[in-house]
Amino acid sequence: MRFRFRSATSLATVLLFLVPGAVAAQEAVHDWTGPYLGFTFGGAKGTTHFDLSGHVTNSSDIPVLGASGTVTLGVNAQSGNFVYGIAGDGSLLTVKGNGDAAGGTIDTALDQLFALRGRLGLTTGNVLFFATAGLAVGHESFDSRIINSTPTNPRDALGNGYVYGPTYGAGVEVALSDKVSLTAEGLVTNLSSLTASGDTGKSSGGSYTATATHSDVTLRGGLNFHF
């Protein structure tokens, strides 16, 4: 877990400073107070852990990878050099993966993610360093196909639903003007389990249960527009 947090923080900082001219000269403290609307793009990498139980007993980690586009609506308050606030995110994702398990195949996908997060930061000049944490809700689906060698009425375990869990990370934001800022952040997200039942088609009984648990690290960057 500590490794994921350090990775998210480091990647967010590196992304921002790779943008030419992103960091302006240190001047008087910028005023971050007020609402903002943000648009960010990035990618996520992680795993979906599968546990199969019943007629089939097996565990496997399916690597997942994909891109995301996020709209953020938030508001900041400021006291001296400290900035705090709350932000809501809505993301469309294409985070997918597939692999083998117990002689069969598993496909998994996360295609929506919503989050409500608190932010606490320290500003110096026109740069804001912040930590963030909150609750995420995502839409996940999977298809587990474990078929007996001589199947009779096999049935895939098809999972489809919303899962939730904590999301946390860190980032940095640079004010390009009073109205526009450049932002980059890394986030760790751990979602709850999604369960579905299937059958291998074994004539004497082949039912099993598949349980999927998703976690990932997301790196994203973009622009915030302040009002």
Query: Global pTM?
Result: 0.84
Instruction: Judge whether residue 11 has pLDDT over 80.
Output: no
70 band by pLDDT with thresholds 50, 70 and 90: very high
Domain ranges of the chain: 2-226
Instruction: Judge whether residue 66 has pLDDT over 80.
Output: yes
For the chain, report the end-to-end CA distance as a whole number of angstroms: 36
CATH 2.40.160.20 fits 2-226, yes or no: yes
Residue 205: Cβ within 10 Å count:
9
CA 14 to chain centroid: 19
188 band by pLDDT with thresholds 50, 70 and 90: very high
Cα three-residue angle 219-220-225, rounded to 5 degrees: 155
Q: Of 15-24, 32-41, 147-156, 216-225, which range is least confident? A: 15-24
